[in-house]
Structure 1
Amino acid sequence: MRSKIVKFFLVVSAPIVFFSCGGEVLPKPKGMLRLSYPEPKYKEVLLPCSYSFEKNDLSELYSARRNQRCWYNLEYKKMRATMYISYYQVNNNLDSLLRDAQNLTQEHVVKADGITQTPFENKKNNVYGVFYEVSGNAASPSQFYVTDSVNHFIVGSMYFKVKPNYDSILPAANYLRNDMMHLMETINWK
């Protein structure tokens, strides 16, 4: 009788064991954090300087240094990022200013996967320059310089207050890149 019970148990349980393994077991992918930011709203910033521009309402404007007139920081606190804006008067030193701005970007070559430069020209407002997009784990994913070639020169760079990890900061870097490009496009000399 015992052997009949064991046989019955094996006959009934064997198909359950074999058919219960329903296909290949795959590990679940890691969930990725989706970062989204509000649609930017821009307002003109009137400065006691030789230039003005439009900034995103998401950012806060601070004077960068007391001893450097017309240097400003745009703080993006929620993204833990800052756009540094430095103004220089052109006095027969345009070559030096251009070289310094280009060298600032080239310092990131060590960590960058690539640097894309896009010429910028706004003939109506007499604003000319270059926008740099740095890909990879570089400290600054976006930089620019603009000038009127005669009197004014502005350098801008974006930095995050976190260790650079390109994949992690990419959504914020793209959002801020657009802000930086908008700032360039709206610069007016006085």
Structure 2
Amino acid sequence: MKRIVIPVLSLFLLGCGNDTLPKPKGYLRLEYPKAVYENAIIPLPFSFEKNKIADPIKSVKSTKNTKGININYPSLKATIYLTYKDVNNNIDSLLRDAQNLTQKHTIKADAISHNSFENSESKVYGMLYEIDGDAASQSQFYVTDSTKHFLSGSLYFYAKPNYDSIYPAAEYLEKDIKRIMETVRWKD
């Protein structure tokens, strides 16, 4: 028995001359078209610029004080949902609702960072929340003039949340969200 085991064991030890090395990480390289922006044509009391790769905007819901539109990106399988509300001495509750909506994603989020936004010349003030991890939404934001207008938005993908897979598209669309915030102009 020893005569068989020792030679077989020797073959295993001698056959492993090279050290094994881990493979380097591979990253998926996705290229998106350079963003070209145009004025969004919408029947609401504000205007903004949208990326041309998005479908034409259609109103989706409307009540007395709330109006909604969706910015669909079929090639990225994503939608930015915008909700406009009139401010009627309720700015505190509107801000609280927008912040609470973002906080609901903390269950699945690895991190939530926020960046404030201010354009005093156009009276547009707001906050952008970036959500890292397998949360349902990767970005949430709101802008307001604090007296008449309040606009909130959320980015959602038509896929099960997998942060590693949707990260490139989320990063691309975050630039569009920032452009929306920067170009919002209230119509009075």
| Shorter-chain TM-score range | 0.7 to 0.9
Query: Using the alignment, how far apart are the partners of 1:163 and 1:116 within structure 2?
Result: 22
**CA–CA distance in 1 between the matches of 2:42 and 2:23?**
53
Amino acid at match of 1:64: V
Supply the RMSD in Å over aligned alpha carbons: 2.0
> Is 1:146 aligned with 2:130?
no
Task: Check the 8 A contact 1:35/1:171 in 2, yes or no.
Answer: yes
Query: Structure 1: how far apart are the matches of 2:33 and 2:40?
Result: 20
Letter in 2 for 1:58: I
- Mean alpha-carbon deviation: is it higher for 167-176 or for 69-78? 69-78
In the alignment, does 2:104 pair up with 1:101?
no
CA contact (8 A) 1:48 1:70 kept: no
Work out whether residues 71 and 85 of structure 1, in 8 Å CA contact, stay in contact via their aligned partners in 2.
yes
Instruction: Tell me the alpha carbon deviations over residues 44-103 of structure 1, each in whole angstroms, 9 at most, x when there is no partner.
Output: 113221100000001112222255764100001011100000000000111110110000
Aligned amino acid, residue 182 of structure 1? R
Number of equivalenced pairs: 172
Gapped regions of structure 2 (runs ≥ 5): 1-13
CA distance in 2, matches of 1:41, 1:156: 20
SS at match of 2:137: coil
Aligned with 2:80 (options 80, 83, 87): 83
CA contact (8 A) 1:135 1:166 kept: yes
The CA distance in 2 between the partners of 1:177 and 1:166, in whole Å, is 14
- Give secondary structure in 1 for the equivalent of 2:122: coil
Cross-structure match for 2:54: 59
On the 8 A contact 1:44/1:54 being kept in 2, the answer is: yes
Instruction: Sort the Cα spacing of 1:23 and 1:111 in 2 relative to 1 into closer, same or farther, 3 A.
Output: same
The alignment partner of 2:61 has SS state of: coil
- 2:131: which partner in 1? 134
Q: Quick one: percent identity of the two aligned structures?
A: 53
Distance, in Å, in 2 between the alignment partners of 1:27 and 1:111 is: 30
Cα distance in 2, alignment partners of residues 120 and 30 from structure 1: 36
**Unaligned regions of 5+ residues in structure 1, if any?**
1-17
Q: After TM superposition, which residue ranges in structure 1, 4 or more long, deviate above 6 angstroms?
A: none
Q: Which has the larger radius of gyration?
A: 1
TM score, norm. by length of structure 2: 0.84
8 Å CA contact 1:108–1:138 kept in 2: the answer is yes
CA contact (8 A) 1:75 1:82 kept: yes
Q: Does 1:155 align with 2:152?
A: yes
1:29 shift after superposition: 5.3
Pick from 33, 42, 45 the counterpart of residue 47 of structure 1.
Answer: 42
